[in-house]
Structure 1
Amino acid sequence: MSDPATEIARRLSENAEAVCRRYLSNGRREGHYWMVGDIHNVAGRSLYVRLSRSADGRGAAGKWTDAASGDHGDLLDIIATSCGHSDFRETLEEARRFLSLPPAPVASRNPAPRKGPAGTPEAARRLWAASKPMAATIARAYLAGRMIHALAPSEPLRFHPHCFYRRSEDDAPDTRPAWPAMIAAVTDLEGAITGVHRTWLHPETADKAPVAYPRRAMGHLLGHGVRFGRAAPVMAAGEGLETILSLRQLLPSMPMIAGLSAAHLGALAFPAGLRRIYIARDDDTAGAVALAVISERATAAGIETVPLEPECDDFNGDLMTLGSSRLGASLRLQLKASDRRVHF
């Protein structure tokens, strides 16, 4: 028989949207997710809660992730934070009231360790300063394994040989506390570093490290991103680093920015003078939402948006599966004629 906490968590997941509407009231539903700024119910789009189980069975209803901090948890965490509980028994009682369950004695459990505050921009800048160029590192080998070879020395990418990894409840108890990592600088419109993105890597395979969350961002991300090239009237934006780096294999002269998540792609700040932005969306529900949100914002600002559609799940999938020639042909068909002449 399951313990009371597990059973209550299961019942909450069956009513995930109702929980979100009650305890994350400043958010809103977008597709299969509830989007809000953070677990403290700040308005925004950084934290997303899955409202239904994913088709492949890997994503459970009620699980949430904050793209800005890398924090994650379940609906009991949300209730505890919303109500300011210091004792897990209080959270279980509140959940019972929400679910209209009768009060009942519950076995106390040790509260989960409190998460530390999200990484600050200062911490992000220290990590960036402690990192080194990527040449001849496993970070460069990792990208080569994704068919990403052409990298300019000015790219906002570095390597850290021993980057701290905070183990989560989804990691094995013996998960190592540090791994090599590719570090990407997140900057604002003025070029100041506001955060970093880390991709932890396995030192022997040059693939992602065998941890539950091999990619995490820290610092202030909302409106910012990883920028490739100087701002210009025509730019491209996408979700992930590998999406943007794949496009840059074919369009190295076009300035681009990686938002690092669908939510942050939709919230990107537009540089002055921008008149057309290509949106390299991922082929999923979150990608469709991001495209709709950023298109609405851009149109209101007088900026033309042009979607770039991958043939596979994303553009790195296109590059690896279809090859650069076919990806280039697809991009030529999707770019405006004037931009084809400049960038091809």
Structure 2
Amino acid sequence: MTRDASELARRLARDAEAVCRHYLSNGRRQGRYWIVGDVRNTPGRSMFVRLSGPDSGPGAAGHWRDAASGEHGDLLDVIRESCGFVDFRDVAGEARRFLSLPRAEPRRSPKRTPVPAGSAEAARRLFAMSQPIRRTLVETYLGHRGIKPVHDAGALRFHPRSYYRPDDGSPTETWPAMIAAVTDLADRITGAHRTWLAPDGSHKAPVDTPRRAMGGLLGHAVRFGADDDVLAAGEGIETMLSLRCALPAMPMAAALSANHLAALLLPPTLRRLYVARDADAAGDTAVAALTQCAEAAGIEALVLSPRTGDFNEDLHAFGLGALRAALCIQLAPQDVARFMLFADAGTA
């Protein structure tokens, strides 16, 4: 795979300007460089792609760097990020397809049809434009919340410059953001949740509303792990990731608010539901509503209660060992053996 990737990257670099015109169509040539906002084809001037140079080594054609984010790579990375691919097979297939096209005229990718702001399609596009969280500010932010290992993190991504507008009359700002995919029971993305972050990732961005959701949320959730016969559901992403640290094999769903938790649709395979309670009036109301819905469907419902306001506060205040001990006495006995022993073995 490494040899195939190197050869594809070299072939793309020989026609670097055509690659940039096709995949980074919001940029333009300036001297020996193609200039654009970022590798996801955002308008701007912080990313520079070298259009000429040797086949490899320092100064090679096709190499790029984003001065704002510090990201860098080659033209295969441009194809991966601009197209929203995850698997190398898809990236390589797209590169081969591009290399087979005639080069008589400079190619520009067709402009996408605009979609309504805040729609499900806008959410899908935002998630596709974002990148995996590995070694990004999202990992930094979660680490500051006490969440070190993030199991099944495919629902989370990082965007280095996500648009934020305080209100309709204010200018648009950009902040780094944690992007979470909201999905239905068939794993289709119906919405997205944004948590804007401080530039160093130590906490949320200093804005009035650092969390906002878009698209279709009702009945759906941010999911960690595949739905099975047991599920834990709660409100916040950090709350459920904290539980996930303690119970990494248990599937979990973050509904994003008390109202949405009360309306969460439950998978048909579910036999037992754990409802992670936030210790406030809205949380109690959501727990009661979801518990009633589960029991009406023949699903056993058990409530998990934190010692403080929520389970992320518990994790941060008391540590992972104390959180596991508190959960152990709240789980059904068969789930202690199934999920708690797995967690202990995974961290031994």
Give TM-score, length-normalised by structure 1: 0.63
Aligned 8 A contact 1:235 1:277 in 2? yes
Match of 1:305 in 2: 301
Match of 2:194 in 1: 198
Pair 1:128 & 2:124 matched: no
Match of 1:50 in 2: none
Match of 1:249 in 2: 245
Q: Which residues in structure 2 correspond to 1:1-344 (within 5 Å)?
A: 119-152=118-151, 154-168=153-167, 177-344=173-340
Query: Post-superposition shift, 1:137?
Result: 1.0
Query: Post-superposition shift, 1:235?
Result: 0.7
Q: How far apart are the structure 2 equivalents of 1:330 and 1:151?
A: 20
Q: How far apart are the structure 1 equivalents of 2:200 and 2:320?
A: 27
Match of 1:42 in 2: none
**For residues 310 and 153 of structure 1, do their structure 2 counterparts lie closer, same or farther at Cα, with a shift above 3 Å needed?**
closer
Total equivalences in the alignment: 226
Q: How far apart are the structure 1 equivalents of 2:116 and 2:297?
A: 34
Q: How far apart are the structure 2 equivalents of 1:235 and 1:153?
A: 14
Query: Post-superposition shift, 1:152?
Result: 3.2
Q: How far apart are the structure 2 equivalents of 1:308 and 1:251?
A: 13
Q: How far apart are the structure 2 equivalents of 1:286 and 1:118?
A: 29
Q: Deviations over 1:304-340 (max 9, x none)?
A: 1100000000000000001111111000000000000
Q: Deviations over 1:98-141 (max 9, x none)?
A: xxxxxxxxxxxxxxxxxx96611100000000000111111110
- Secondary structure of the structure 1 residue equivalent to 2:329: helix
Q: How far apart are the structure 2 equivalents of 1:236 and 1:272?
A: 15
- Secondary structure of the structure 2 residue equivalent to 1:160: strand
Q: Deviations over 1:179-205 (max 9, x none)?
A: 000000000000000001100001135
Q: How far apart are the structure 1 equivalents of 2:319 and 2:122?
A: 38
Q: How far apart are the structure 2 equivalents of 1:137 and 1:256?
A: 23
Letter in 2 for 1:142: Y
Match of 1:45 in 2: none
Query: Post-superposition shift, 1:282?
Result: 0.3
Match of 2:107 in 1: none
Q: How far apart are the structure 2 equivalents of 1:205 and 1:247?
A: 22
Letter in 2 for 1:127: L
Q: How far apart are the structure 2 equivalents of 1:153 and 1:282?
A: 23
Query: Post-superposition shift, 1:246?
Result: 0.1
Q: How far apart are the structure 1 equivalents of 2:261 and 2:152?
A: 25
Give TM-score, length-normalised by structure 2: 0.63
- Secondary structure of the structure 2 residue equivalent to 1:334: coil
Match of 1:16 in 2: none
Match of 2:97 in 1: none
How many percent identity over aligned positions? 53
Query: Post-superposition shift, 1:153?
Result: 5.4
Q: Deviations over 1:134-155 (max 9, x none)?
A: 1111111000000101123543
Aligned 8 A contact 1:139 1:206 in 2? no
- Secondary structure of the structure 2 residue equivalent to 1:246: helix
- Secondary structure of the structure 2 residue equivalent to 1:248: helix
Q: How far apart are the structure 2 equivalents of 1:218 and 1:159?
A: 16
Q: How far apart are the structure 2 equivalents of 1:254 and 1:205?
A: 28
**For residues 263 and 237 of structure 1, do their structure 2 counterparts lie closer, same or farther at Cα, with a shift above 3 Å needed?**
same
Q: How far apart are the structure 2 equivalents of 1:133 and 1:205?
A: 15
Q: How far apart are the structure 2 equivalents of 1:135 and 1:205?
A: 13
Larger Rg: 2
Q: How far apart are the structure 1 equivalents of 2:233 and 2:152?
A: 21
Aligned 8 A contact 1:281 1:291 in 2? yes
Q: How far apart are the structure 2 equivalents of 1:149 and 1:245?
A: 10
Aligned 8 A contact 2:151 2:248 in 1? no
Q: How far apart are the structure 2 equivalents of 1:209 and 1:279?
A: 29
Q: How far apart are the structure 2 equivalents of 1:273 and 1:243?
A: 24
- Secondary structure of the structure 2 residue equivalent to 1:294: helix
Q: How far apart are the structure 2 equivalents of 1:340 and 1:198?
A: 34
